[in-house]
Structure 1
């Protein structure tokens, strides 16, 4: 008897899906769109090793198969999985294979299961290599480096038996009070789009029907607008019009779709009153009909259950999400009842078939029917560590500098006082969605400084204050150390480190209410009303800067904190974001001059929460500012200093006037700017291109919009010219007709080192 068509690896994915669907029962189909079980409930650790649980076997039996299993290898305080109970690198492939073997060998059709893992900044599993958080990655302005790191993370995932990587990429920091700001590449859609493309290329490999054995399918989170919730409140409402949605919040998603992303995750928030998981206009009208997306859409955790309030009961809620375009559930109680929804006539079985087909297609693309078990060789851990540290180093952003204090190696520094609640804590460098680290992994800023300091340098340390609240019992010790030192390095900021006593919502978000002593100031569920440093840190900053010793402030943070004016207080201010385990070495390299600061702000740094929103690319209504403070940010998007000086010439256009129909093909004009290193140190400069509509158009223009960036290396005294194409994507707006178009008018084509330091050339687009 010949093998069925779906078993033929030479057949097309579409034909194999069609054949397999024709053989499936309604119960089996429902099983394929369910991801109901938590992966850590599928196994238990015994003295002789890991064994599959009866609960897992029952789940497989209930649907004669399993569509996907989330978080088999996840470890963190929410899952309750520890280094003692979880799955380390040595056992990852074996346990994954045991899960897969049970599903393949104990079901009628033997359809493999998708093993889905969080990979926000490296796989969230024991012994998984941790990368800096996305906000730090965005500060590098180096998508090529991130692509390389993402590829190695995918290889690590596949070597342990995982198939699908869930990665935040689509959200933007439109309100830094939002606790998940650290998961964003920044506030700008163009910057986020370039990193999203790099992510897809890195994780999935070359575009094509098949995904290689050392690559993974990527599901991009979250679609769409989750970074624009009112008040920076997690999972709340948005107030977005069509233009804001398309011009800001869908740009990265469209870039990811065009790059070939296997899937998108529907966001928790609602758009125009309809939750994303039930929003047919978003998931079907835009994503599939306008963009032609053929991959799968996954619900966020328990998001479909939230629809019961709209639909009336779980069966109707599941039908509502399925009709809208949600293909795969996550932990909810609604999708397991889709057979009942079909029976009640709430949704057609053909609609279910479409969703099942997308899940099956991904399994075929991954080659799971031919090679269901782990077989890929993992990434070199040393290379992964190297890339993590390099990303951290390139993300360090010099915000302020007196021009003389840094680098420390260039000064006579005999004593360095390292002070602050983030100075000696690796966990507080890691960010949210991080597995427990093995003892000895990475090093703190204090450890990095001690290792980097020249022989004979005395490095002293005091914590100075607590991370949160006003507690500062060792403030006198910190002040004494700073007073006696040649320079003080004050390491402040926040933490997303989950602790064993942290409480969590059912979907894993931290519950950190007002007055809760848990030391989390950022992360999922940890939104802030105020963005200034906590009382204790502010007092420490005031006391240490008052000593007269040169003070270098290093901010380890997952969001831009609102900073006071430190011009006459601190000698330098750097943001290290959450730089990962090896971020301490990276910060020390920049402080001592082994590396120059290369980071550029992916977000605007506010003066206070009261002036929000402060993102640079708002609508240009010419607002003059508040009475009591300016409306401008403390530090603008794109800003970042170096240890030298760089001068920019006036940009030049190859053609200053172009007819609108010339924008149908290749760029009809280009912008060239000269850049020269006028200082005494080498520099890696990020040259930025912005576009500002001056006159014309059918919608109100934005202040300016990033449309390109190039990183150049310049020796002292060296100059170069950078040329940017000025094409349709650079000038197009989302019009009243509901499409992208270049409209006649006048544009300022601007270049410079940041969004607030530009020079312009005028371009006329004629009808």
Structure 2
């Protein structure tokens, strides 16, 4: 048969030279209703699709056979690479870097063979802070990333994570980016970039650019489409309780909780995940006004909408049964389910008139389009080579996240220090340096603070260690040893905090959230707190060490802000800095590196103050009778080992300029922050709004001019700009002259 004749007999959807939309239309027209429904289902836990064989290989399970037979193929498979306490997958049973691609290929070949039309599956993986898989590079959590105020650095890290995913045969990355931290009692605060919509938007754009690369019809072999989660308002659940209702007015929703999503969509995000919470009484997975009216019709989004795990079936509480729940979600705008039963009945729902066949076809087309854009029909068995080691970019993020909040001269450690006591439950372990959604690590991976200080401290410095206490509980028996070590030292480094580390003893809900906190667990999905305190023994240890009179620096390793008394000479937070965070912290303590992190959220004095965030409405925000209403540490705050002075801002065309001077004796990096204050607006304004930031490295005595785009100011609005080192400093900073945007043309 000639080449021309062969092309005439080859279905259009098999022609790699044909436009994607034409291929989608041709394939869709050939599919049965059953096959179409199968493309919208993502029911299996990926770890149930395979098992290890005695010779160390993999074999497919009856569960996978049954699932692919059910719909003559498979739309998507979640978590083939996932390894953690919930899945039960570890290095003895799951795929590592050396054999993950082979497992993915084995599963994909089976899916294609069971599909009448040879349709491959999407392999969907969690990438919350690096690829959640055995041997995947673990990055600092989002809250630490937000503390870097460095989207460019994060973009490089995101690109590395995407390359790891694709090298292992995965396709789609689930990336937390859209939740805004408004109540730090919420266990998933660690997954947020911070409390501010502008800051979160810049990091969301970086995630999309890094993972997806340049926009185009096809994804590069080392790039992965991103599912941004969670859409929308999940960071505002009542009481900081996971999956609770979100009592949001539309203006609050649009001003605080939607800008990051809008930025991600403009950057080209391939997909979003509909959240558990409700918006105006309707859960997001069934909210047509949100998923269709806003996302698709107003924002022009033409990508994929995935429901969060079991969110579709939850709609049966409204509709009465899972068939109508699936119809409601599909009609609202959900294209792909996750573990639900409701979407398995969509053929019946169409037959009963609960949802139209046209709506079904539109969802299937979006799933197929993503598969074509990934090249799954044309490069079925090819995977790119793995990227270079990712530990350096993880270290760089950790180093940039370390934030110094208080320092009375204790840090950096003076050259005369000859004995350092390293104390506390977080001092000698890497197990609690990474957040929730972390795969088991091979022994020896990463560096704790104690080991890092042994390595980096000058020769002759005596490093003494005592654990002192556990993260939780009130066992004080180890405190005397810690006190003795502190009393015999020139400097005490007390490492406190929390943990999101899951263990096999953790009880899990069907969606992987912790059902109840066990042992050390104080943070992560399902570990919400009513207060913001550390474990009781940690406070006793702090009091006892400070009472020795030895200069003390407290280091917090945590996934949310905790309340710590101002008794130690220095306080810094590293958030969850990842496996190599110990090195980053040690470098800052010893003065090898400058502390350059800035707070991505306000640190409350107590949970009784909540909510506490800088961009509240501009009212008389007075204190309580029994306590101040101001936070202990403000959004944007962070000290350096030098000092900076800010000149008054000035308008120059469509930009704002200000001079920044290093007033100290050390090289340093400041983060100049531009805040907008609205003076005349059609609605009640917020006190301040972040609208720009620039990191500046300055030598001692050096002055540089920083320039910010002034951003879009609504026509006729009167504003002033302030440049400062934090939201608190901006309140008293010298403003620009009042600027009123022209009635017709925004600035």
Contact 2:471 2:534 in 1 (8 A): no
In structure 1, the residue matched to 2:668 is 683
Mean alpha-carbon deviation: is it higher for 162-171 or for 755-764? 755-764
SS of 1:149's partner is helix
Please give the per-residue CA displacement for 1:10-56, whole angstroms capped at 9, x wherever unaligned. Answer: 22111111111000000000000000011000001111211111110
Contact 2:681 2:718 in 1 (8 A): no
**What displacement does 1:670 show?**
2.1
Please give the per-residue CA displacement for 1:430-467, whole angstroms capped at 9, x wherever unaligned. Answer: 10000000000001111111111111111111111110
**What displacement does 1:612 show?**
0.5
In structure 1, the residue matched to 2:3 is none
Contact 2:142 2:190 in 1 (8 A): yes
The answer to whether residue 26 in structure 2 is matched with residue 22 in structure 1 is no
Contact 1:746 1:762 in 2 (8 A): no
Contact 1:465 1:475 in 2 (8 A): yes
In structure 2, the residue matched to 1:595 is 593
The answer to whether residue 729 in structure 2 is matched with residue 757 in structure 1 is yes
In structure 2, the residue matched to 1:661 is none
Please give the per-residue CA displacement for 1:457-492, whole angstroms capped at 9, x wherever unaligned. Answer: 111111111101212211111111111110000000
The answer to whether residue 422 in structure 2 is matched with residue 450 in structure 1 is no
Whole-angstrom CA distance in 1 between matches of 2:349 and 2:483: 67
Whole-angstrom CA distance in 2 between matches of 1:678 and 1:374: 56
Please give the per-residue CA displacement for 1:741-762, whole angstroms capped at 9, x wherever unaligned. Answer: x042431201011111122113
Whole-angstrom CA distance in 2 between matches of 1:177 and 1:374: 45
The answer to whether residue 569 in structure 2 is matched with residue 562 in structure 1 is no
SS of 2:738's partner is strand
In structure 1, the residue matched to 2:259 is 251
**What displacement does 1:401 show?**
0.5
**What displacement does 1:649 show?**
0.8
Contact 1:620 1:702 in 2 (8 A): yes
Whole-angstrom CA distance in 2 between matches of 1:534 and 1:622: 35
In structure 2, the residue matched to 1:504 is 508
Contact 2:426 2:432 in 1 (8 A): yes
Whole-angstrom CA distance in 1 between matches of 2:244 and 2:400: 34
In structure 2, the residue matched to 1:99 is 107
Whole-angstrom CA distance in 2 between matches of 1:226 and 1:374: 38
Alignment of 1:572-611 (within 5 A): 572-611=570-609
Contact 1:153 1:379 in 2 (8 A): no
The answer to whether residue 732 in structure 2 is matched with residue 747 in structure 1 is no
Whole-angstrom CA distance in 2 between matches of 1:745 and 1:24: 54
Alignment of 1:260-275 (within 5 A): 260-275=268-283
Alignment of 1:195-344 (within 5 A): 195-344=203-352
Contact 1:223 1:265 in 2 (8 A): yes
Alignment of 1:450-469 (within 5 A): 450-469=454-473
SS of 1:761's partner is coil
Alignment of 1:285-434 (within 5 A): 285-381=293-389, 384-402=390-408, 404-408=409-413, 410-434=414-438
SS of 1:589's partner is helix
Whole-angstrom CA distance in 1 between matches of 2:254 and 2:129: 27
In structure 1, the residue matched to 2:439 is 435
The answer to whether residue 710 in structure 2 is matched with residue 726 in structure 1 is yes
The answer to whether residue 655 in structure 2 is matched with residue 670 in structure 1 is yes
Whole-angstrom CA distance in 2 between matches of 1:373 and 1:231: 48
TM-score (norm 1): 0.94
Please give the per-residue CA displacement for 1:630-661, whole angstroms capped at 9, x wherever unaligned. Answer: 1111000000000001111111123xxxxxxx
Whole-angstrom CA distance in 2 between matches of 1:509 and 1:457: 44
The answer to whether residue 135 in structure 2 is matched with residue 127 in structure 1 is yes
Whole-angstrom CA distance in 1 between matches of 2:720 and 2:463: 50
Unaligned runs of 5+ in 1: 655-667, 732-741
Whole-angstrom CA distance in 1 between matches of 2:166 and 2:659: 45
Contact 1:93 1:374 in 2 (8 A): no
Alignment of 1:129-168 (within 5 A): 129-168=137-176
Whole-angstrom CA distance in 1 between matches of 2:109 and 2:672: 52
In structure 2, the residue matched to 1:544 is 545
Whole-angstrom CA distance in 1 between matches of 2:144 and 2:401: 5
Contact 2:412 2:641 in 1 (8 A): yes
TM-score (norm 2): 0.97
In structure 1, the residue matched to 2:692 is 708
Whole-angstrom CA distance in 2 between matches of 1:353 and 1:380: 41
In structure 2, the residue matched to 1:10 is 17
Contact 1:112 1:368 in 2 (8 A): yes
The answer to whether residue 34 in structure 2 is matched with residue 50 in structure 1 is no
Whole-angstrom CA distance in 2 between matches of 1:398 and 1:149: 23
Whole-angstrom CA distance in 2 between matches of 1:187 and 1:563: 20
Please give the per-residue CA displacement for 1:544-585, whole angstroms capped at 9, x wherever unaligned. Answer: 111100000000000011232x1xx21210000000000001
Whole-angstrom CA distance in 2 between matches of 1:432 and 1:208: 33
Unaligned runs of 5+ in 2: 1-5
Please give the per-residue CA displacement for 1:514-571, whole angstroms capped at 9, x wherever unaligned. Answer: xxx421100000001000222111111111111100000000000011232x1xx212
SS of 1:647's partner is strand
In structure 1, the residue matched to 2:634 is 636
Contact 2:457 2:590 in 1 (8 A): yes
SS of 1:427's partner is coil
The answer to whether residue 44 in structure 2 is matched with residue 37 in structure 1 is yes
SS of 1:762's partner is coil
RMSD: 1.0
SS of 1:28's partner is helix
Please give the per-residue CA displacement for 1:242-290, whole angstroms capped at 9, x wherever unaligned. Answer: 1111111000000000000010000010111100000000000000000
**What displacement does 1:210 show?**
1.1
**What displacement does 1:136 show?**
0.4
**What displacement does 1:593 show?**
1.1
Contact 1:462 1:478 in 2 (8 A): yes
Whole-angstrom CA distance in 1 between matches of 2:98 and 2:476: 43
Whole-angstrom CA distance in 1 between matches of 2:643 and 2:556: 23
Please give the per-residue CA displacement for 1:138-191, whole angstroms capped at 9, x wherever unaligned. Answer: 000010011011101101100000000001000010000000000011010000
Contact 1:96 1:374 in 2 (8 A): no
Contact 1:33 1:355 in 2 (8 A): yes
Whole-angstrom CA distance in 1 between matches of 2:494 and 2:381: 49
SS of 2:85's partner is coil
2:198 aligned residue (180, 190, 194): 190
SS of 1:465's partner is coil
Contact 1:465 1:537 in 2 (8 A): yes
SS of 2:189's partner is helix
**What displacement does 1:3 show?**
1.0
Displacement over 6 Å in runs of 4+: none
**What displacement does 1:669 show?**
2.9
Whole-angstrom CA distance in 1 between matches of 2:411 and 2:366: 55
